[in-house]
Amino acid sequence: MHFDLTDQYQDRPSSIHDLDPRVKVVLTILYILGLSLTPEAAWFVFLVFFVMLLLVVGWAQLGLTYTIRRSYIAAPFILAALPIFFMLDGPTLITLPGLGWTVSAAGFDRFFTILIRTWIGVQAGILLTVSTRFPDLIWALDELHVPKVLVAIVSFMYRYLFVLIDQSMRMRQARASRSAVTQESRRPSAIWHAKVVGMMVGSLFLRSLERSERVYAAMASRGYEGEMRILNSFHMRPQDWFGLTMGSIVLLIPLFIQFIFIR
Amino acid sequence: MLLRPEPLHIPDGFLSPVVAVAGWILAMIFISIAIRQTKNQLGERQVPLMGILAAFIFAAQAINFPVAGGTSGHLLGGALAAIVVGPWAATLIMSAVIGVQALLFQDGGLLVMGWNIVNMGVITAFTGYAIYKLLLRIIGQGRGARIGAAFAAGWFSVQIAAMATSVELAASGTSPLKFVLPVMVGVHLVIGIGEGLITAAAVGVIQASRPDVLIAGERAPGRRLAVFTAVGLAFALLVALFSPLASSSPDGLERVAAEMGFLALGQDPTYEIFPGYTLPFIGGEALTTILAVTVGTMIVFGIAWLIARTSAVREAAGD
């Protein structure tokens, strides 16, 4: 039983993959910030953002629909925004038959703006993850002055994630092989399930704690002094500077469109 | 099995940029205090211990069980982490978990990650810890007491986190408070039971085989600061829940208040940190209200922190 998380990264021989991870992190954040700053109902600007994203996805040789196919991840949260349809004043678009609730134009605009921002924003995150190896991503965050200890904890977590998930899967297998199940019997209650899961969590915690003691002892005996040393390092090459500059300029385009055509 | 978006992981686009940035500032304050606190507590064991425990929380979240209607219950883990390693270490552990979920699985946005860290890391850890400690003080230190306190800690931590999430959504104009608050809290009344049961059973197992670990967690340094932080957070949440009533001109939130008939209450606010909850030099009512609430929250937190600092010094001098 083995669980593998690395399949998030999609290796392609593209210049997007080759770009310095710092550049990609900065441009992704700027892109999402740009999306958030785009005013409500500026549909054309959102379209420009979306086309930009698709171009980069295509450039990264992922196939144009790659991020769209995986963008369902934020879908359940959309429910939280649904009532905004009915909550804003303004000219009425539709009245729901039977309920008498009215959908205002403002509510319609607000809802679809949130929907589109989230949908495109999630895809930008997916693009960053699938085009950058996770250790490189963590390294970039360290370079961009995310607190060192936090970065070290995250990289440690990434290293042991597989180990602990495998361990929890082995525990589940062991439990399943010890417990008799008859098809006819009534299903046990959710409370019983929760208790069993809680006990597994408790023993997984103790095993993790003891593992961390062993790991620390092994590290200390190899000369660990409280600082993580990371071997990989990138240098900003000319093409990275070019990518950063071009990316920033391209990200200004939607902003110009807003000022020239919409205001 | 790991890709399950939850009602508490806010994605990008749901919070306005101002609200999102305020969340990052708060998260960074908490993370930097937590780094200092745990450095004192753990020394060079800090990184390996907390890294592996972050992986543990992630793995524990993946163990789920079926609940009625095709949904599944599982652990969030902030309260459990706070009980076993103390609230400051739990803050760091949960921040790492939330960061990896956002970066690797897009479970929660990047720009709004600050609030996700505050909601699911800081708030669950501190409310869970405060409730657990409070109940242990009231009902004693026995095995049953620990399990009962752990259940309450798990349940409350999820409720408070859900309330905070609702406030952030309302402040961004994404969803009106009068809708999102009852829905969020209603859903989490049930989710909280699962969280409470898992936390309680886990604490029971740890109590039975390694009681020393629980005692060490309860005595984690920075306790006093932690209790003050929990009180400060609860107060800030209370202010945020009722701040729409104190703003001076009708905006989105105020309209909700007016519809609910609360406006009469808001006419004469008994507390007024800033005149009418707006800062004069920045235009835009909604924006300044949010800004004022944020600044107010930080002031409250700062005061709580100062009080905790001085009392900690006095405690050290007294011992």
Domain boundary (B220, B244, B275) is at B220
Residues of B in contact with A168 (CB under 8 A): 59-60, 62-63
Asked if B14 is an interface residue toward chain A (Cβ–Cβ < 8 A), one would say: yes
Give the burial class of B154: count Cβ atoms within 10 A of its Cβ; 0-12 exposed, 13-18 middle, 19 or more buried. buried
**Average pLDDT of span B117-131:** 92
- Picking from A201, A142, A241, A96, the residue whose alpha carbon sits closest to that of residue B199 is A201
Please check the confidence at residue B142 and state whether its pLDDT lies above 50: yes
Specify which residues A92 forms β-bridges with. Answer: A104
Please name the residues in contact with A98: beta carbons below 8 A apart, sequence gap of 6 or more: none
Residues B121, B172 within the same domain: yes
Q: How far apart are CA B300 and CA B277, in angstroms?
A: 15
Confidence of residue B297 (pLDDT cuts 50, 70, 90): low
Residues of B in contact with A124 (CB under 8 A): 12
The overall average pLDDT reported for chain B is 76
Residues of B in contact with A224 (CB under 8 A): 44
**Average pLDDT of span B296-305:** 58
Range with lowest mean pLDDT among A87-96, A136-145, B208-217, B232-241: A87-96
DSSP, collapsed to helix, strand or coil, labels residue B65 as strand
Q: Which of B206, B255, B256 sits opposite A205 (nearest CB)?
A: B206
Range with lowest mean pLDDT among A72-81, A201-210, B73-82, B256-265: B256-265
> What are phi and psi for residue A95, nearest 5 degrees?
-110, 125
- Picking from B58, B47, B49, the residue whose alpha carbon sits closest to that of residue B100 is B58
Range with lowest mean pLDDT among A208-222, A227-241, B11-25: A227-241
Contact B44 A224 (CB under 8 A): yes
| Comparison of pLDDT for A185 and B244, the residue scoring more | A185
Please check the confidence at residue B278 and state whether its pLDDT lies above 60: no
Confidence of residue A28 (pLDDT cuts 50, 70, 90): very high
**Concatenated DSSP letters of A81-110:** GTTHHHHS-SSEEEE-TTT--EEEHHHHHH
CA distances to A11, A232, B55, B295 from B205, rounded to whole Å, are 43, 41, 19, 43
Confidence of residue B17 (pLDDT cuts 50, 70, 90): confident
> What are phi and psi for residue B73, nearest 5 degrees?
-100, 150
> What are phi and psi for residue B71, nearest 5 degrees?
-90, 165
**Concatenated DSSP letters of A162-174:** HHHHHHHHHHHHH
Residues B251, B200 within the same domain: no
Contact A211 B52 (CB under 8 A): yes
Confidence of residue A121 (pLDDT cuts 50, 70, 90): very high
CA distances to B156, B177, B186 from B161, rounded to whole Å, are 8, 15, 13
| Tokens standing for residue B114 | 């600050």
Given this model, what pLDDT does residue B268 score? 35
| Tokens standing for residue A185 | 């019997």
Q: How far apart are CA B42 and CA A206, in angstroms?
A: 17
Residues of B in contact with A77 (CB under 8 A): 5, 7, 9-11, 14
Residues B70, B94 within the same domain: yes
- Picking from B232, B300, B250, the residue whose alpha carbon sits closest to that of residue B271 is B300
Given this model, what pLDDT does residue B70 score? 56
Given this model, what pLDDT does residue A184 score? 60
Given this model, what pLDDT does residue B299 score? 61
Q: How far apart are CA B286 and CA B170, in angstroms?
A: 11
Residues B203, B227 within the same domain: no
Q: How far apart are CA B97 and CA B2, in angstroms?
A: 13
Please check the confidence at residue B290 and state whether its pLDDT lies above 80: no
Å between A159 CA and nearest CA of chain B: 8
Residues B69, B198 within the same domain: yes
Q: How far apart are CA B174 and CA B166, in angstroms?
A: 10
Given this model, what pLDDT does residue B267 score? 35
Å between A71 CA and nearest CA of chain B: 9
Å between B97 CA and nearest CA of chain A: 8
For chain A, the domains span 6-142+235-262, 147-176+206-232
- Write out residues 151-210 of B within 8 Å (CB-CB) of A: 169, 173-176, 179-180, 183-184, 193-194, 197-206, 209-210
Residues of A in contact with B12 (CB under 8 A): 32, 35-36, 117-118, 121-122, 124-125
Domain boundary (B162, B193, B220) is at B220
Contact B110 A28 (CB under 8 A): yes
Contact indicator for B79, B132 with CB cutoff of 8 Å: yes
Contact B14 A226 (CB under 8 A): no
ipTM of the modeled complex = 0.87
Q: Which residue of B has its CA nearest to A211?
A: B52
Q: Any idea what DSSP says for residue B12? A: T
Contact A37 B17 (CB under 8 A): yes
Please check the confidence at residue B96 and state whether its pLDDT lies above 90: yes
Specify which residues A95 forms β-bridges with. Answer: A102
Helix A190-221 and helix B177-209, axial crossing angle in degrees, nearest 10: 60
CA distances to A198, A206, B19, B140, B256 from B135, rounded to whole Å, are 20, 24, 34, 8, 36
Q: Which residue of A has its CA nearest to B63?
A: A197
Residues B226, B216 within the same domain: no
Q: Which residue of A has its CA nearest to B252?
A: A88
- Write out residues 216-255 of B within 8 Å (CB-CB) of A: 252, 255
Q: Which residue of A has its CA nearest to B70?
A: A190
Given this model, what pLDDT does residue A135 score? 87
**Average pLDDT of span A151-172:** 89
State which amino acid sits at residue B290.
Answer: I
Q: How far apart are CA A162 and CA A154, in angstroms?
A: 13
Question: Which H/E stretch holds residue B230?
Answer: helix B223-242
Contact B175 A203 (CB under 8 A): no
DSSP, collapsed to helix, strand or coil, labels residue A184 as coil
**Average pLDDT of span B279-292:** 48
Contact B194 A194 (CB under 8 A): yes
Residues B75, B195 within the same domain: yes
Residues B160, B265 within the same domain: no
Q: Which of A5, A80, A124 sits opposite B174 (nearest CB)?
A: A80
Given this model, what pLDDT does residue B68 score? 60
Give chain B's domain count: 2
Å between A62 CA and nearest CA of chain B: 17
What CATH number corresponds to the domain at position B8?
1.10.1760.20
Task: Record the pTM.
Answer: 0.82
Residues B109, B140 within the same domain: yes
A182: left (phi over 0), alpha (psi -120 to 50) or beta: beta
DSSP, collapsed to helix, strand or coil, labels residue B279 as coil
Domain boundary (B195, B220, B245) is at B220
Please check the confidence at residue B120 and state whether its pLDDT lies above 80: yes
**Average pLDDT of span A240-260:** 86
Contact B175 A215 (CB under 8 A): no
Please check the confidence at residue A29 and state whether its pLDDT lies above 80: yes
**Average pLDDT of span B237-253:** 54
Å between B211 CA and nearest CA of chain A: 11
DSSP, collapsed to helix, strand or coil, labels residue B257 as helix
The overall average pLDDT reported for chain A is 84
- Picking from B220, B78, B98, B95, the residue whose alpha carbon sits closest to that of residue B150 is B78
Residues B200, B57 within the same domain: yes
DSSP, collapsed to helix, strand or coil, labels residue B152 as helix
Residues B145, B4 within the same domain: yes
The length of chain A is: 263
Q: How far apart are CA B199 and CA B79, in angstroms?
A: 8
Helix B46-62 and helix B87-105, axial crossing angle in degrees, nearest 10: 60
| Comparison of pLDDT for A87 and B85, the residue scoring more | B85
Domain of B291? 222-319
Helix A190-221 and helix B78-85, axial crossing angle in degrees, nearest 10: 50
